[in-house]
Structure 1
């Protein structure tokens, strides 16, 4: 069972889920672009039982965290500042970083810059130093054009369609996901939890930003989780990552696209083993 904190990160209130608050070893779990820290519930519960404290924030503009006034706030340098504030608030001396998609990008940057002295292990979930333009276009389109639904059950149908690549889920897990990533408007309709402005900084028509030079600079032990059907983390990108980091742990996940949900035993066990090693 987790606890919930609302902490100040610079000028914003950030919601953080906390498992096993008083444990000495810390894992920070950072979600993808349009997701929340709730995505890590199953992984966090497993790690908490193994003696870890797990911190899973909702990035600003998502979940229960405050929304920004300006779309320009929704960018990696701001998220890095908030990650630093979270580490300061919880007095994190060292930690493992588990990042899905956007959270993996933040983790790669943090592990080579502002949190280099704190991140001692890094798990990257279905993201690499570059994103194919077609995949980025797909993500921007569905995030920026999420319709409203009259009922939560109809909203859930949309969630099941969008997040089928995360992997199989039980009926209860789908119900829970729908509740966790929805909000009700004044007219009673349900829409997704996030601020639509979170994608305004992305322009798929521009040359893609690459982080290969930064990726080479990562010094801590590294694990890559790969949804084998992913359009974001292609086989070619994985091959290049393995060539750059031959000692990188690699977890291919069959039957998943972008991105594995880290919610099944087959996914949780190897990730937890890497974190514990």
Structure 2
């Protein structure tokens, strides 16, 4: 039986005037020679990949998942200017020290956008990419999502029960039970000055109103790496007309837009995990 270790590492780096600590979860089977580096969504953290990791380690993958700065157990900087795309890419560069010889990557929602920026800087040093419900361009649904996050990050709940109910409902994770449910909640909420809040820094949303419009369409049409574009069937991004067009232009893209979820799929349901694992197995065999 292959020995599997699960651990948390702390990576320290200097960003301007800030000494940053990144908390990184690593699930590693003995003798692993391939890795899956996972970047969570904007208002999430590395725990999101714990269920997926349980399956991937059985296939020999080391799974690496950082809490991006301002989230989870990584540094809260309190400075809106510190939360730039360049800063996020630098964080991924620092975490890449844990990758293996064969590199695979996964990004959820906003995390997929940041992951693509990082991979472009490496000249696409990846054997396979999974983009989990990643929006392709600025539109009304992205603006609405930003508004919801900006409201949520500043909410103070009077007790733990209220915070738990909110986070389970908004992440569509009421199905979690037992120890897994408790671990999820412990990683998503925290007590601050007697009130309960979600575990991310309000400063990360400060520049939402000044963010320029963006489009990934040009990049995706030329992406040189086998890529799975996975969407929840109830996601506002699942029926974008661009998906069909991109899959015809770029044969390396595979579109799967009927996962049983909204935005984004949790990757905690067995069918979702099997879809991801199956794609990565194909990419590895290619």
TM-score by length of 2: 0.86
- Structure 1 residue ranges (4+ consecutive) displaced by more than 6 angstroms after TM superposition: none
Partner SS, residue 119 of structure 1: coil
Structure 2 contact 243–255 (Cα < 8 Å) conserved: no
Instruction: Find the counterpart in structure 2 of residue 97 from structure 1.
Output: 105
RMSD: 2.1
Contact between 2:259 and 2:272, CA under 8 Å: does it hold in 1? no
- Tell me how far 1:117 sits from its aligned partner: 4.8
Report the Cα distance in structure 2 between the residues aligned to 1:168 and 1:251, rounded to whole angstroms. 24
5 Å-filtered alignment, 1:235-254, equals 235-254=240-259
SS of structure 1 residue aligned to 2:236: coil
Change (3 A) 1:198 1:24: same
Structure 2: how far apart are the matches of 1:261 and 1:84?
A: 25
Question: Who is 1:80 aligned against?
Answer: 89
Cα distance between partner residues in 2 of 1:240 and 1:168? 35
* Secondary structure class of the residue paired with 2:9: strand
Question: What is the deviation of 1:168?
Answer: 6.2
Residue 116 of structure 1 and its aligned partner are, at CA, apart by 2.7
SS of 1:262 mapped into structure 2: coil
Partner of 2:11: 7
Say yes or no: does 1:44 pair with 2:53.
Answer: yes
Contact 1:230–1:257, Cα closer than 8 Å, also in 2 = yes
Match of 1:195 in 2: 201
Unaligned runs of 5+ in 2: none
Within a 5 Å distance, the mapping from 1:71-220 to structure 2 comes to 71-87=80-96, 89-90=97-98, 92-111=100-119, 113-133=120-140, 135-146=141-152, 147-164=155-172, 169-172=175-178, 173-187=180-194, 189-203=195-209, 208-220=213-225
Report deviation, 1:233.
4.4
Give the direction of change, closer, same or farther, for the CA distance of 1:148–1:97 in structure 2 (3 Å limit). Answer: same
Deviation at 1:254, TM superposition (A): 4.4
1:217-236, aligned counterparts within 5 Å? 217-236=222-241
Correspondence for 1:66: 75
Matched, 1:266 2:271: yes
Q: Is the 8 A contact 1:26 1:95 kept in 2?
A: yes
Other structure's SS at 1:5 match: strand
| TM-score normalised over the length of structure 1 | 0.89
CA distance in 1, matches of 2:125, 2:217: 22
Note the residue ranges of structure 1 that are not aligned, 5 or more in a row: none
